[in-house]
Structure 1
């Protein structure tokens, strides 16, 4: 695709008119039209300015630079393993997971493929007879017909909540988000459709605990997602760390006494 085609696609995805984008970027709508049709060639500064207004992730900014004939300033491919991220980032991830012990923690890439996990997370999965390996996709495991859903007591509500959240994340990733394709494929399942009807987006709770029943043990969790702020590196921008925190005294006692 040419630069102008990429730009128009992003503008349409963000639901902005040419006039709105031009005003936000501080340029004339005529110049923006010329950029989209290829009659004008953007400078590197113009690409950065338009990318900031359109909130384009670093990975896709790199594609815009390439399409305009410039060397990409940012990596155009996200990390597929921790070996690909800068050493300082890998060290920070290890520190976060280590300090979070004895509670579970797991690291995902931009498509929710597992990059790594701490021993507490692997132990929790092991209690349920579920093996977790790098490259496994969390969305497929949680929303697909797998053993994981059988241990989550409030699976339907949590599944609907997850779909709503991932759809919002995919929209931010852009018009060609692979995450959007994955979540819509999973959301097409009949039981997911039913869950979405029962728990519509407007009824989402501020915090939704995850209730698990594994044998005679019952665990309640709330989770947080941590990302790296102000990064302009596609290798790092999509990395997410999900940390599990006990939502009741019984869960806390079990894991602190393990």
Structure 2
């Protein structure tokens, strides 16, 4: 039997997440060991879900950890997940592990960003790319998207800027759709409005570079092709997150590593390592 309770905000929020995930009430009920009738009552405010039910539904809807706290608050419960500052003593082991990982990846570039692309840590492979970036873009808090797409940042040196810019903006659009972050939306609107360098406007290449299909070897993923030290280095990126995080800060951290995409880049980075 379902008990009627005063309408709360959690029902519409859960319905929004379910519709965003394109899951029917019946499918969600089967996943969460409930009934479609109960899911309907929760969404319309006729039934107040238990704390356990809110967390179970959030898990099956793959709701981000930060938004799970919001669901709990809307249902009248205390937040379950802490948001620990990344420099807090409690995350000391995490920071040490990240530093070891980034150092071990050198001379290849790698960095860690939070949910709004603020740089938490970076290795020397990344910092070597920033030699010509003006000081105002390097002032804390350092933001990876601003550094990459700002017309005074790395953008003028990226040989395939239109393609790489499109990739980054699409990545941000997917994250905004998942997290509904106002801060991330503001960052997206800022960097999407940056003008392209004159050499990149209306072309697929910057600086007259030959088309990729004329190169002697194919790329296995969209590369970042960037000028450095009088040559063009090519990288493909990989992003890793932490498995089953129980802290909002940790849940939003992402480790991005850049793998050399061609033999010339491998050879050059090996000379740096030597």
1:9 aligns with 2:16: yes
Equivalent residue, structure 2, for 1:101: 106
CA distance in 1, matches of 2:162, 2:192: 12
In the superposition, the TM-score normalised over structure 2's length comes to 0.77
**CA deviation string 1:9-54 (max 9, x = no partner):** 3223323343443343332233222222333221122112101221
Equivalent residue, structure 2, for 1:201: none
Q: Count the aligned residue pairs.
A: 248
**TM superposition shift of 1:91:** 1.6
Which is worse superposed, 162-171 or 50-59?
162-171
- Ranges in structure 1 where 5+ consecutive residues have no aligned partner: 199-204
**TM superposition shift of 1:135:** 2.0
1:218 pairs with one of 232, 236, 244: 232
CA distance in 2, matches of 1:251, 1:189: 29
2:173 pairs with one of 151, 156, 167: 167
Equivalent residue, structure 1, for 2:252: 238
1:116 aligns with 2:121: yes
CA distance in 1, matches of 2:110, 2:226: 16
Secondary structure, counterpart of 1:70 in structure 2 = coil
Equivalent residue, structure 2, for 1:154: 160
Structure 1 pair 33–74 and aligned structure 2 pair: CA distance change class (3 A)? same
Greater relative CO (CA pairs within 8 A, separation 6+): 1
1:129 aligns with 2:133: yes
In the superposition, the TM-score normalised over structure 1's length comes to 0.81
Structure 1 pair 229–191 and aligned structure 2 pair: CA distance change class (3 A)? same
- Structure with a larger share of its residues in helix: 1
Equivalent residue, structure 2, for 1:145: 151
CA distance in 2, matches of 1:248, 1:14: 38
**TM superposition shift of 1:90:** 1.2
**CA deviation string 1:66-99 (max 9, x = no partner):** 2222222212x4x664447622221210111110
